[in-house]
Structure 1
Amino acid sequence: MDQVRAQFVVLDERFAGAGGDQWMRRLFTGCRWTEGPVYFPAGRYLLFSDIPNDRMLRWDETTGEVGVFRQPSRYANGHTRDRAGRLISCEHGHRRVTRTEHDGSLTVVADRFQGRRLNSPNDVVERSDGSIWFTDPSYGIDSDYEGYRADSEIGACHVYRVGVDGDVRIAADDFERPNGLAFSVDERKLYIADTRQNPSHIRVFDVADDGTLAGGDVFGTCDSGAFDGVRVDAAGRVWAAAHDGLHCFAPDGTLIGKLLLPEICSNLAFGGARLNELFITASSSVYTLRVNFSGAR
């Protein structure tokens, strides 16, 4: 396990004091493209995807060992943990969202909209009402690198909401390549990254009690490559993966700081007993850093 110096860049006084350990640990390397970190506190382990290699890997916090969790993984990308402690996964290969039950069996959460196959679900979150929200760009069907080349049956890239009754609805239909998404601490706002826009940006929507979205103004733009995964911390700050590291935005949309990394970042997750372990997937590697702030619960 090697280490990389943690470089926090303060761009606004509201980011002053944000920090953590002096060194980031690289937990694993040698992948083709890492994605979808999700931490399971009950087992003290982290799962993450190595999409082009069609596998999911598992890092054991108690031993430091990394092993294969699932292969083939159906080119799994983003993941989340639901409130019952089950794994929710986006699968490029089978163009669906699945739930791994406690006995290891798989349940399909969504694979079609109005009878047409989804493109390639990318990232996913759960709201406290039990609804599942996911983005559906076409990266998994654009080539055979992260899935299987195919034509889109839907003809566009949308954001979807799956109700507790299993009903699949379009939540937002005006994205080019929707990607990472995250709810605000109070779940009254939803942040969604659009990777393909020029410049790549994050939009913010107001969320009604019934799940209807309104608004959609640009919240923040990317000054290094494109945004990918998005997470929110307990202070309501929005963290987004970009080409030079993680970008941190205040709730008003001001870019207030960055955490620089030596590889292109794809996603992040908060874990550990106090949600102050920051896990970052970046190009071929996975990094972790103990920080002095926590992720939103």
Structure 2
Amino acid sequence: MGNVRLERLHTGMRWAEGPVWFGDGNYLLWSDIPNNRMMRWVSGAPEGGAVSVYRDPSNNSNGNTRDRQGRLVTCEHGARRVTRTEFDGTITVLADSHKGRRLNSPNDVVVKSDGSIWFTDPPYGILTDYEGHKAEMEQDGCHVYRIDPDTGALTVVADDFDKPNGIAFSPDEHILYVADTGASHTPDGPHHIRAFDVSTSGTLSGGLSGGRIFATISPGLADGFRLDTDGNVWTSAGDGVHCYSSNGDLIGKVLVPEVVSNVAFGGPKRNRLFITGTTSLYSVYVGANGAGYF
């Protein structure tokens, strides 16, 4: 798309993350983790381009998504929990501990069509006071979890990660993609996306198997990503956004002048890619449509 350009919509954040599109309201929410707030950008008249603070304080919110009823689901570094914002604005705690011990610092989250909520739990929010509150890790590792939609029970579905981060399902939900960003603090640590096969059996583990390396990100890390309707993975990287085919082949890049943390598809046709890049929010129209349900 030679006539398309990258647009910077807003700047002034310290570390922008967790964009999520609200098509029914024509706006985007995202987190500014170190500034302990969530931001809101409105598209279209009469407020087109208006930016405001959505939530302050936000408990150092990070990843965001929506459940199948359209409610906001948020990972909070500061409070070490996953929450849901109800339609009346009240906040429901979905998970904050496992086996009687506090979670590390939930990072990114996705909701499956059966209503189950899947999230990653690396230690980034407790390593220092910059993105949360420095504290000792109480869990025996950094895991991927599933919240049962009927009972609310919390189950570990993957326990062999260094620092699990971005998470998303393929459009048909047959594959769960999870990033490992261990290289953020260990030079030779992992900086890849893994792909798990998802079955309908084995509800205690979410039916996951495999865990093969799907793609290794360079430069940078797969902090967060989304998929389009063709099954391509659009992921954050050190030089912008990388697009991988469902076979794991790098098929294109969107170059961004800041390190990218995450992306979200939005707009009426879901062909506008919103990009959180360190201090700024960007967008670009792409020749793909984001997979999603709002």
TM-score, length basis structure 1: 0.92
Where 1:23 maps in the other structure, the secondary structure is: coil
Letter in 1 for 2:25: G
Whether the 8 Å contact between 1:207 and 1:213 is mirrored in structure 2 is yes
Aligned to 1:288: 283
- The counterpart of 1:32, out of the listed 4, 9, 14, is 14
Aligned-residue sequence identity (percent) comes to 57
Listed as ranges, the matches of 1:3-22 within 5 Å are: 19=1, 21-22=3-4
Deviation of 1:91 (Å): 0.1
Aligned to 1:241: 236
Q: Which runs of 5+ in 2 are unaligned?
A: 184-188
1:27-76, CA deviations, whole angstroms, 9 ceiling, x for partnerless residues? 10011000000010111110000000000000011321100000000000
Distance 2:131 2:270 in 1: 30
Distance 1:288 1:249 in 2: 19
User: How many residues are matched?
Assistant: 279
Distance 1:159 1:234 in 2: 24
Aligned to 2:70: 85
Are 1:176 and 2:171 an aligned pair? no
Whether the 8 Å contact between 1:21 and 1:289 is mirrored in structure 2 is no
Aligned to 2:126: 141
Q: After alignment, is 90-99 or 219-228 more displaced? A: 219-228
Aligned to 1:266: 261
Deviation of 1:22 (Å): 2.1
Listed as ranges, the matches of 1:242-257 within 5 Å are: 242-257=237-252
Letter in 2 for 1:250: S
Deviation of 1:293 (Å): 1.1
Deviation of 1:272 (Å): 1.1
Listed as ranges, the matches of 1:37-52 within 5 Å are: 37-52=19-34
Aligned to 1:203: 194
Distance 2:24 2:254 in 1: 28
Where 2:125 maps in the other structure, the secondary structure is: helix
Are 1:104 and 2:89 an aligned pair? yes
Give the superposed CA RMSD: 1.0
Where 1:141 maps in the other structure, the secondary structure is: helix
TM-score, length basis structure 2: 0.93
Deviation of 1:21 (Å): 4.9
- Name the CA shift for 1:48/1:20 in 2 (closer, same or farther; >3 Å): farther
Aligned to 1:113: 98
Q: Which runs of 5+ in 1 are unaligned?
A: 1-18
- The counterpart of 2:52, out of the listed 53, 62, 67, is 67
Letter in 1 for 2:290: G
Letter in 2 for 1:183: F
Distance 2:244 2:2 in 1: 18
Structure of greater relative contact order (alpha carbons < 8 Å, 6+ residues apart) = 1
- The counterpart of 1:278, out of the listed 273, 281, 287, is 273
Q: Which runs of 4+ in 1 moved over 3 A?
A: none
1:144-199, CA deviations, whole angstroms, 9 ceiling, x for partnerless residues? 00000000110310000001120100010000000001100100100110011434
Whether the 8 Å contact between 1:21 and 1:290 is mirrored in structure 2 is no
Aligned to 1:191: 177
Are 1:214 and 2:196 an aligned pair? no
